[in-house]
Amino acid sequence: MSPQVHTWKVVLADDHAIWRDGVRVDLGEDFRVVGEAADAPAAIEVIGRTRPDLVVCDLAMPGGGGLAVAKACAEFTRLVMLTVSEAERDLLDAVAAGAVGYLVKSTPPAELRAGLRRAAQGEPVFSPSLAALVLGEFRRLAKGSGASPLSDREREVLQHVARGHTYREIGETLYIAEKTVENHVRNILGKLHLNRKHELMRYALEHGIE
């Protein structure tokens, strides 16, 4: 039996139609665009209706932007932010909202396709220059709390993710199963969400915000 090529259903969300046209061309045959949207409410509606495998979404859109889309849809689809912003705050907010990836719009087409294929399979994907910011955030949290939020193994896994390695490559390097790598990444992201929530709660208490 000849192997079948997997085609992932994708929704494109951006308020610039020309950009959506360009991404559709860059996606190639691995993806089939099942919906498009120019603002967050429309994106949430079309995602709920078409249930795509992947959403490629701009961070800055009318109606709440990519963060609103991620918060509403990340539980049942995988979402990658494709944006011009390289700000650390935007990256961390996107991850906390549920995005599995964050790529800049200057990403070359071949790298974009490769990254989106990995994201469609559940792997976290970051532009190399931005992945280092995720590592930096954990280091900052560790200094602030006096203890690292990550285990030694989780730090190892995160370093490999930041270098752009796939789950399979990480598993082969660390001599652990690919599924174990996936579980470590899930725990890492969970810890980031939890720590960020605690920071906000502490700030509110210290400043009398209720």
Q: What is the pLDDT of residues 78-122, one digit of tens each?
A: 999 999 888 877 887 888 788 888 898 888 888 889 889 988 988
Domain with CATH 1.10.10.10 in the chain: 130-206
Q: Give the residue with greater pLDDT, 148 vs 179.
A: 179
- What is the predicted pLDDT for the residue at 133? 65
Whole-model pTM: value is 0.68
**Exposure letters 59-76 (e unless 16+ CB within 10 A, then b):** bebeebbbbbbbbbbeee
Alpha helices in 28-99 (DSSP H): 40-50, 65-73, 88-97
Domain 130-206 has CATH 3.40.190.10: no
How would residue 144 be classed by pLDDT, with cut points 50, 70 and 90?
A: low
How would residue 194 be classed by pLDDT, with cut points 50, 70 and 90?
A: very low
The fold of 8-126 is: Rossmann fold (3.40.50)
